[in-house]
Copies of this chain bind each other. A is one copy, B any other.
Amino acid sequence: MEIPYKIYLSEAEMPRYWYNVRADMQTKPAPLLNPVTGKPMTVEELSGVFCEELVKQELDDDTRFYPIPEDILSFYRMYRPSPLVRAYCLEEKLKTPAKIYYKFEGNNTSGSHKLNSAVAQAYYAKMQGLKGVTTETGAGQWGTALSMACSYFGLDCRVYMVKVSYEQKPFRREVMKVYGASVTPSPSDTTAVGRKILAEHPGTTGSLGCAISEAVETAVSNPGYRYVLGSVLNQVLLHQSVIGVETKIAMDKYGIKPDVIIGCAGGGSNLGGLIAPFMGEKLRGEADYRFVAVEPASCPSLTRGVYAYDFCDTGAVCPLAKMYTLGSDFIPAPNHAGGLRYHGMSPVLSELYHQGMLEAVSVPQTAVFEAAEAFARVEGILPAPESSHAIKAAMDEAIRCRETGEAKTILFGLTGTGYFDLVAYEKFHDRQMDDYVPTDEELARYAAKLPKV
Interchain CA distance A400-B426 in the complex, whole Å = 47
| Oligomer: number of copies | 2
Please give, as numbers and ranges, the residues of chain B lying within 8 Å of A59 by CB-CB distance.
none
Residue of B nearest to A110 (CB): B380
> Does A171 make an interface contact (CB < 8 A)?
yes
Please give, as numbers and ranges, the residues of chain B lying within 8 Å of A177 by CB-CB distance.
425, 429
Does B380 lie within 8 Å of A109, measured CB to CB?
yes
Contact bitstring A415-428, B, C-beta under 8 A = 1, else 0 = 00101101001100
Does B6 lie within 8 Å of A426, measured CB to CB?
no
Q: Which of A184-192, A294-302, A371-379 contacts B (4 or more CB under 8 A)?
A: A371-379
> Does A56 make an interface contact (CB < 8 A)?
no
Does B376 lie within 8 Å of A178, measured CB to CB?
yes
Does A381 lie within 8 Å of B180, measured CB to CB?
no
Please give, as numbers and ranges, the residues of chain B lying within 8 Å of A111 by CB-CB distance.
419
Interchain CA distance A77-B5 in the complex, whole Å = 7
Does A426 lie within 8 Å of B380, measured CB to CB?
no
Does B4 lie within 8 Å of A422, measured CB to CB?
no
Interchain CA distance A11-B4 in the complex, whole Å = 7
Does A422 lie within 8 Å of B174, measured CB to CB?
yes
Q: Given B89, B171, B379, B380, which contacts A419 in the complex, CB threshold below 8 Å? A: B171
> Does A168 make an interface contact (CB < 8 A)?
no
> Does A107 make an interface contact (CB < 8 A)?
yes
Interchain CA distance A426-B417 in the complex, whole Å = 21
Q: Which of A57-76 contact B (CB under 8 A)?
A: none
Residue of B nearest to A378 (CB): B152
Interchain CA distance A179-B375 in the complex, whole Å = 10
Please give, as numbers and ranges, the residues of chain B lying within 8 Å of A109 by CB-CB distance.
376, 380-382, 417
> Does A78 make an interface contact (CB < 8 A)?
yes
Would A426 and B174 be within 8 Å (CB), given that A4-B10, A10-B4, A382-B109 are in contact?
Answer: yes
Does A380 lie within 8 Å of B79, measured CB to CB?
yes
Please give, as numbers and ranges, the residues of chain B lying within 8 Å of A451 by CB-CB distance.
none
Please give, as numbers and ranges, the residues of chain B lying within 8 Å of A377 by CB-CB distance.
151-152, 178-180
How many chain A residues have a CB neighbour from B under 8 Å?
41
Residue of B nearest to A4 (CB): B11
> Does A170 make an interface contact (CB < 8 A)?
yes
> Does A265 make an interface contact (CB < 8 A)?
no
Please give, as numbers and ranges, the residues of chain B lying within 8 Å of A399 by CB-CB distance.
none
Tell me the smallest distance from the CB of A431 to a CB of chain B, in Å. Answer: 13
Would A380 and B78 be within 8 Å (CB), given that A4-B11, A373-B178, A426-B174 are in contact?
Answer: yes
> Does A8 make an interface contact (CB < 8 A)?
yes
Does A376 lie within 8 Å of B179, measured CB to CB?
yes
Does A6 lie within 8 Å of B425, measured CB to CB?
no
Tell me the smallest distance from the CB of A193 to a CB of chain B, in Å. Answer: 28
Q: Which of A5-41 contact B (CB under 8 A)?
A: 5-6, 8, 10-11
Residue of B nearest to A381 (CB): B109
Please give, as numbers and ranges, the residues of chain B lying within 8 Å of A108 by CB-CB distance.
380-381
Tell me the smallest distance from the CB of A387 to a CB of chain B, in Å. Answer: 13
> Does A148 make an interface contact (CB < 8 A)?
yes
Tell me the smallest distance from the CB of A164 to a CB of chain B, in Å. Answer: 18
Please give, as numbers and ranges, the residues of chain B lying within 8 Å of A429 by CB-CB distance.
174, 177
Q: Which of A396-410 contact B (CB under 8 A)?
A: none
Does A8 lie within 8 Å of B8, measured CB to CB?
yes
Tell me the smallest distance from the CB of A122 to a CB of chain B, in Å. Answer: 13
Does B422 lie within 8 Å of A170, measured CB to CB?
yes
Q: Given B77, B376, B422, which contacts A171 in the complex, CB threshold below 8 Å? A: B422
17 A-B residue pairs with CB within 8 Å = A4-B11, A8-B8, A78-B379, A78-B380, A79-B380, A109-B380, A148-B380, A152-B377, A170-B422, A171-B422, A175-B422, A175-B425, A177-B429, A178-B372, A178-B373, A180-B377, A419-B419
